[in-house]
Amino acid sequence: MKGYGLELMGTLGNANAHEEFCPEWARSGQKSRWAPIPTQEAWRRYVQAMVGHYKDQIKYWEIINEPNTGFWAKDYIPLMVAAYEEAKKADPGCVVVGICGTGDQEGDPLGYMRAVAEAGGLTSLDIASGHGICKTRPWMCRGEGPSWDYVAEMTSLLKRYAPNRNVPIRNTEGVKYCCWSGLPNVPHTTTEFAIRHKGRNASVSQGLAAAYVARDCAIEFCGGLRVLFLWQFRNEAVDFNLSSAESLGSVDFFAPDGTPQAKFVALNALAEKLRGAKPVEHFGLSPQVRCAVFDSPSGPFALLWRENRNENDLRSYTLPVRAAVEVQDLFGRPLNLERAGDALPVRVSENPVYLIGEKASSPIVVAAAVKEAGKQAEFTFDTPLKNELMGPLRFARQEGK
């Protein structure tokens, strides 16, 4: 990975392990939410040993993976403070990443960040992080409106409680959409999700996965996030059992043979467009049709899509866009649309499309053209999206089994 110019981030401790967070000999005898609390001495020695040993290879260290799954904030903060002190002793040039609350398991990254910030925890980290910031669709959903506000509130919270430190926020486990490879006649799910959802398909098609990736990253970028850590390069099933993963047809950003998948190609196209760009405006044309407008060194552009509730809600609309723009699909390929009079018939669906303005034009002009086109459409099928969170995990138990 270093050979390809990728920076590594080490994770010190995993709260998801709960009782196995630390060995018996390192425990203080106290317990937090689900995990045992280690002694300060054992914890400090562990952090200093890890950071010191890898200081020539790893500069980024995240203090406990998803602590809100195992530790209350009041118990996490002393561990973070101690880790910050020991990490800086072992390598003064290291970067400490903290908080790392998850949206999985009904977690709330913003709530955990607020609890840590209110207790003064922002003085013991260089970067604040979170997981699952945009709720996974279609099984977990904040609704598109709340998602924009949610991400923006996270960044404003850091400014409010650390006004002089300029603490950035990172999504250190981003765009988590399992997808299948398209192999025929195979069940498109994993064992874990099959049990959890009682046979409901927990993977999505390559196309939808690519669409969700582009939309979520646009939301997070507009909210202030500038760096994304991918999770994961390969589906877990590939690491555990390659033959099983191939039979399920389950893949992630890359297939088992290393072939880039659709969502990686879509993410790469978006990343290229966002290089040096800044968000200008985001708005809704309807309760489900969204638009994000950006300015960049190569000229303004907009990303336009319809937010679907699930795979049964795949509607589309055609907007008459009267502007000098090039229309591209979510992979950055020109669509070469023919004008109907003075307007381009732009199809808006669950798959985002780019409207690329001329280099010398203004993003305000692009935004105005989209808004005007929206006035010409009847969004017949659109209703406000609700904040539908995944319910508690329930495992069915049958008598005699």
Q: Is residue 387 part of a domain?
A: no
Same structural domain, 69 and 167:
yes
Is residue 272 within a helix (H) or strand (E), and if so which, with residue range? Answer: helix 262-274
> 3-class SS at 148?
helix
Tell me if 104 sits within 8 A of 131, measured CB to CB.
yes
Same structural domain, 224 and 318:
no
Closest to 363 in 3D by CA, of 266, 298, 306: 298
The 8-class DSSP code of residue 183 comes to -
pTM above 0.75, yes or no: yes
What pLDDT does residue 51 have? 98
What pLDDT does residue 236 have? 55
Q: Is residue 31 part of a domain?
A: yes
Same structural domain, 24 and 157:
yes
**Domain with 370 in it: what CATH number?**
2.60.40
Q: How many domains does the chain have?
A: 2
* Cα dihedral 110, 125, 129, 292 sign: positive
Same structural domain, 135 and 56:
yes
What pLDDT does residue 208 have? 83
Same structural domain, 283 and 166:
no
Instruction: Report d(CA 2, CA 325) in Å as an integer.
Output: 39
Instruction: Report d(CA 153, CA 157) in Å as an integer.
Output: 6
Q: Is residue 367 part of a domain?
A: yes
Same structural domain, 210 and 285:
no
**Domain with 17 in it: what CATH number?**
3.20.20.80
In order along its 401 residues, the chain shows pLDDT tens digits of 777 777 889 999 999 999 999 999 999 999 999 999 999 999 999 999 999 999 999 999 999 999 999 999 999 999 999 999 999 999 999 999 999 998 766 677 888 999 999 999 999 999 999 887 765 443 344 433 456 777 788 889 999 999 998 899 998 887 766 665 555 544 444 444 444 444 344 566 778 888 988 988 898 898 888 888 876 666 555 555 555 555 444 567 877 677 788 888 999 999 999 999 999 999 999 988 999 999 999 999 999 999 887 667 889 999 999 999 999 999 999 999 999 999 999 999 999 999 999 999 999 999 999 999 999 999 999 987 765 443 333 333 333 33
End-to-end CA distance of the chain: 46
String of DSSP letters for 3-33: GGTPPPEEEEEEGGGGGGSS-GGGEEEEE-S
Same structural domain, 76 and 216:
yes
> 3-class SS at 340?
strand
Q: Is residue 187 part of a domain?
A: no
Same structural domain, 161 and 284:
no
Q: Is residue 271 part of a domain?
A: no
Q: Is residue 258 part of a domain?
A: no
Same structural domain, 218 and 305:
no
Same structural domain, 128 and 218:
yes
Q: Phi, psi (5° rounding) for residue 332?
A: 80, 20
Provide the CB-side half-sphere exposure for 241 (13 A, CA): 8
Token pair for 282: 């985001």
Q: List, in sequence order, every residue forming a beta bridge with 344; answer none if it has no partner.
A: 321
What is the Rg, in whole angstroms, of the alpha carbon atoms belonging to the chain?
Answer: 23
Same structural domain, 9 and 124:
yes
Residue-range definition of the domain harbouring residue 7: 2-175+206-228
Strands (DSSP E) found in 59-211: 60-65, 95-102, 127-131, 169-174, 179-180
Q: Is residue 317 part of a domain?
A: yes
Q: Is residue 236 part of a domain?
A: no
Same structural domain, 218 and 315:
no
> Exposed (0-12), middle (13-18) or buried (19+): which is 5, by Cβ within 10 Å?
exposed
Provide the 10 A C-beta neighbour count for residue 151.
26
